[in-house]
Amino acid sequence: MLGIRPVLYALTAATLLHAAACGDRHDGAWSGYAEADYIYVGAPLAGTLTALHVQPGDNVPRGKPLFELESEAERAARDEARARVESARYQAQNTDKGRRPEEVAVPAAQLDQARAQAELSRRDLVRKQELAAKGFIAQAQVDEARTALRQAQDRVAELTATVQVAKLPARPDERAAADAQVNAAQQVLRQAEWREQQKKQLSPADAQVSETFFRPGEFVAAGQPVLALLPPGNIKARFYVPQAQLPSVALGQRVQLRCDGCGGAIEARISRIATQPEYTPPVIYSNSQRAKLVFLVEAKPVPAAATKLRPGQPLDVQPLEARKP
């Protein structure tokens, strides 16, 4: 199906080239045909075609759904990516918090015990200092009591620091690493969502559906067109101007298109002039061969009348104004 249209256009072009090379038209018009730049819509991912929402001949607005491919794997990947984003986000939030109250309660209870023990050691030291002053105990016992108090106070300091650390959030570097994990998970989610979206293609422009190449249930390879669209602005006229008349045409020049069944002349403007000639083989040109040289020229019709033309339709093209010097 994809090869029929180029063959027809090639035959039409060859016929028109022959007609243009045989001499000028008596009415001063150039021979040409209608052409179109089709938009071939496919998906960058492979899959089975599950739904085709349009048919050839339908006029579709920009953004209208065209077709869908099977996307179960893409949906599963998207859900997995979303779950990973949530997991990374919770881990990042957790770095802003200290330990749970139950975990802080353990060293806090130990701290209370250490403070009580330190108070007992302080009182024991005071009592032994009084006894030693009266000569009832030796100085060594006072020294032992002083050492026990110092150890109890060190234990209190240790547990106080432990409780404070348990209430602190994570260090800045750990928080930054957690944020980076969240960002990485979000980018994976974006990729998964993009892949899922590519299985549902929308119309990129206001256009008419020209051809559909697959039916639901058929497998479509990645990048293979499922259908062809023809926007009105992509319709153009192609015609051939003999080299002797080439100086009389210019980009932007107004021309008039006529065809069978068009219902009147259609105005267009020249949008392209080929830089190389056609028809004559690349040999030493004789005077007779030079007369056969023609140049391809394209013209864009006004948008309101573009839909009157059909690709491959023969046209007569006539200038409406002379080339400006």
Q: Mind spelling out the 3-state secondary structure of the chain?
A: CCCHHHHHHHHHHHHHHHHHHCCCCCCCCEEEEEEECCEEEECCCCEEEEEECCCCCCEECCCCEEEEECCHHHHHHHHHHHHHHHHHHHHHHHCCCCCCHHHHHHHHHHHHHHHHHHHHHHHHHHHHHHHHHCCCCCHHHHHHHHHHHHHHHHHHHHHHHHHHHHHCCCCHHHHHHHHHHHHHHHHHHHHHHHHHHHCEEECCCCEEEEEECCCCCCEECCCCEEEEEECHHHEEEEEEEEHHHHHHCCCCCEEEEECCCCCCCEEEEEEEEEEEEECCCCCCCCHHHHCCCEEEEEEEECHHHHCCCCCCCEEEEEECCCCCC
Sheet holding 207-212, edge to edge: 39-42, 225-230, 207-212, 59-60
Q: Per-residue confidence at 56, pLDDT binned at 50, 70, 90?
A: very high
What mean pLDDT do residues 291-312 have? Answer: 87
What mean pLDDT do residues 276-283 have? Answer: 62
Q: What is the pTM of this model?
A: 0.67
Using alpha carbons, select from 163, 161, 121 the residue that is nearest to residue 145: 121
**46 vs 11, which has greater pLDDT?**
46
Whether 57 has a pLDDT exceeding 70, the answer reads: yes
Q: Tokens for 204, please give them.
A: 């990129």
**16 vs 183, which has greater pLDDT?**
183
The domain locations on the chain are: 4-47+231-319, 98-168
What mean pLDDT do residues 304-316 have? Answer: 89
Distance in angstroms (rounded) separating the CA atoms of residues 31 and 255: 13
Sheet holding 219-220, edge to edge: 200-202, 65-69, 47-52, 219-220
103 residue type, one letter: E
Q: Tokens for 291, please give them.
A: 């007369």
Domain with residues 4-47+231-319, CATH architecture: Beta Barrel (2.40)
pLDDT tens, position by position, 208-235: 999 999 999 999 999 999 999 999 889 9
* pLDDT at residue number 135: 84
Q: Per-residue confidence at 31, pLDDT binned at 50, 70, 90?
A: confident
* pLDDT at residue number 7: 42
* pLDDT at residue number 289: 56
Domain 98-168: which CATH number of 3.40.50, 1.10.238, 1.20.1730, 1.10.287: 1.10.287
CB 313 within 8 A of CB 33: yes
Whether 16 has a pLDDT exceeding 50, the answer reads: no
Using alpha carbons, select from 275, 279, 265 the residue that is nearest to residue 319: 265
* 299 CB-near residues (< 8 Å, 6+ apart): 236, 237, 239, 255, 257, 268, 269, 270, 271, 317
What mean pLDDT do residues 263-286 have? Answer: 76
- Please name the residue that has the structure tokens 């998207």: 78
* pLDDT at residue number 284: 43
CB 223 within 8 A of CB 289: no
**If 0-12 CB within 10 Å is exposed, 13-18 middle and 19+ buried, where does residue 273 land?**
middle
CA atoms within 13 A on the CB side of 123: 5
What mean pLDDT do residues 49-77 have? Answer: 96
Distance in angstroms (rounded) separating the CA atoms of residues 152 and 133: 24
What mean pLDDT do residues 274-291 have? Answer: 61
Distance in angstroms (rounded) separating the CA atoms of residues 118 and 154: 9
What mean pLDDT do residues 241-263 have? Answer: 90
pLDDT tens, position by position, 143-189: 898 999 899 899 989 888 888 877 777 678 888 888 899 999 999 99
Whether 10 has a pLDDT exceeding 50, the answer reads: no
207, 213, 219, 223: CA torsion to nearest 10:
-60
Average model confidence (pLDDT) across the chain: 85
Whether 9 has a pLDDT exceeding 50, the answer reads: no
